[in-house]
Amino acid sequence: VCEFEPGAIVSDACASYNTLEQLNDAIHPYLHSITQKTDFFSYYRLSLYSKKCPFWDDENGMCGNVACAVNTLENEEEIPLVWRAKELGKLEGPTAQHPGKKQQRERKEKPLQGSLGEGVAEDCVVEYDDECDERDYCIPEDESATAKGDYVSLVDNPERFTGYAGVGAQQVWGAIYRENCFSKPPKDDGPQSSFQSSPLGGSSSNSFGNPQQLQAANQLRNVMQQQGLQAGVKSAIAQGTAAGSLTPVEFDDTCLEKRVFYRVISGMHASINTHLCYDYLNQTTGQWGPNLSCYEARLHGFPDRISNIYFNYALIMRAVGKLTKHVQDYSFCSEDPVEDTRTKNMVLRLASAIPSGPEIFDETIMFQDPDTLSLKEDFRNRFRNVSRVMDCVGCDKCRLWGKLQTNGYGTALKVLFEFDEHDSSNDPPLRRTELVALLNTMDRLSHSLNAIKEFRTMIDERDGVP
């Protein structure tokens, strides 16, 4: 029996939902332990406050609720060794760059003066914000010892309801969805979004402060609604991905790659909203818990959004599975070899539980056509813009998790499209923040699947369905 509304389903969608749910049941405990119980994966360093929104003045969209705040770690002693700037600083040096695997091999054969010290793994070297590899899908989070970064415990700052809403939040979602307008931007909607251009047409004054901006905002909303409608139909076609049956079907002039871009964003949005509905503050009782009407209003009536969460889970899972070899060679750098081995084994156990190859998600069918080469570049630049928009989120906690998850998806796309599963010699470097974001994003999706299952049970119980 199909558990979801017919709108978003193709013939094999039930199988794909079931497959992913079964995998999730098996995988969730590993993921949970990794993200909650290891220092490496439960802390994160990012620029939470130091970057200004590059697209508009965000003063009006700020959330003043207590629930929007993030407790950052100010005291060096509170920060686990593996994340301390002091420790990172130790490894800093003039030649401590990110050599690709090929250069590393060459260096081993013919060491350069001042190359990395004995026993210093590449992964442990300090990372620079502005060292953006051309194959990155995100603007890298700052890991340098000198730059202003904020340390946060992800465990102590869980993603949940904050009360951030209204025009500010809508403006951010609007700007994000606008990155999806590859070839057919809405008319009179300001400049088309492109790398570093403004999603709101270069506006720098207050949100919707004049009629032109209001018009632009309304158009964005229309686009979002239109895309929301189309998604229900489109997802019926692209849905097969999760079952490994995604075929590059042309639909409504939208190619596979563009559909995937939309689904990643919509799935991230749906997953965030699932979490806030699941961990909601009842303002009458002061209790935190699931809010069924929130779920029904935002997700249950939109099967395409739910299917996009499953789609994203499949995509991220495939990326993590593809990293098995990479993790085997990875240095976790905590200076405690026992802890490092434990962390590595946990990640390897997780990766080995994921079916290998295209069974879960087949990325090899994307960007195959020579015509899609420039599309890949466009895809990457647009995703980078999405990561920039995150600096416009007016709620600290939402910004933290928004940035982390964007980084997680960006990392997954990088792994899927730029990494070679069998020969890692030309793989781009993988930053620590990327690996942490990837696994925490997977954990968020895994949590969404569990929450959806619980919400469905609640609905069945309420409606007397046996």
Residues making contact with ligand FAD (CB under 6 A):
159, 161-162, 164-165, 169-170, 172-173, 224-225, 228, 266, 269-270, 272-273, 276, 298, 305, 393, 397-398, 401-402
Q: Is 28 annotated as a binding residue?
A: no
Which of residues 128 and 401 has its CB atom nearest to ligand FAD in the complex?
A: 401
Which of residues 403 and 432 has its CB atom nearest to ligand FAD in the complex?
A: 403
Catalytic residue among 181, 255, 277, 398: 398
Report DSSP letters for 28-67, one per residue. HHHHHHHHHH-HHHHEEEE-SSSSPPSSSB-GGG----GG
The CA distance from 190 to 447, in Å, is 38
In the complex, what is the shortest distance from the CB of residue 269 to ligand FAD, in angstroms, rounded to a whole number?
4
Q: Is 160 annotated as a binding residue?
A: yes
Which of residues 96 and 389 has its CB atom nearest to ligand FAD in the complex?
A: 389
* 398 part of the active site: yes
Q: Which helix (H) or strand (E) holds 288?
A: strand 288-289
Q: Is 56 annotated as a binding residue?
A: no
Q: Is 431 annotated as a binding residue?
A: no
In the complex, what is the shortest distance from the CB of residue 402 to ligand FAD, in angstroms, rounded to a whole number?
3
What φ, ψ does residue 428 adopt, rounded to 5°? -70, 160
Query: What residues contact 428, with CB distance under 8 A and at least 6 apart?
Result: 100, 133, 135, 136, 414, 418, 419
* CA angle 7–10–14, rounded 5-degree value: 100
Q: Is 298 annotated as a binding residue?
A: yes
| Number of Cβ atoms within 10 Å of the Cβ of 150 | 18
- Work out the burial of residue 109: count CB atoms within 10 Å of its CB; fewer than 13 is exposed, 13-18 middle, 19 or more buried: exposed
Q: Is 422 annotated as a binding residue?
A: no
* Token reading at 465: 């369905």
Computed on alpha carbons and rounded to an integer, the radius of gyration of the chain in Å comes to 22
Which of residues 173 and 332 has its CB atom nearest to ligand FAD in the complex?
A: 173
* 138 part of the active site: no
**What amino acid occupies position 453?**
K
Q: Which of 356, 357, 354, 328 is nearest to 343 (CA)?
A: 328
Task: Encode 436-462: b = buried (16+ Cβ within 10 Å), e = exposed.
Answer: bbbbbbbbbbbbbbbbbeebbeeeeee
Which of residues 144 and 308 has its CB atom nearest to ligand FAD in the complex?
A: 308
Which residue's entry shows tokens 């709620």?
395
Which of residues 50 and 226 has its CB atom nearest to ligand FAD in the complex?
A: 226
**Which positions are catalytic?**
395, 398
The binding site for FAD comprises 160, 162, 173, 266, 269, 298
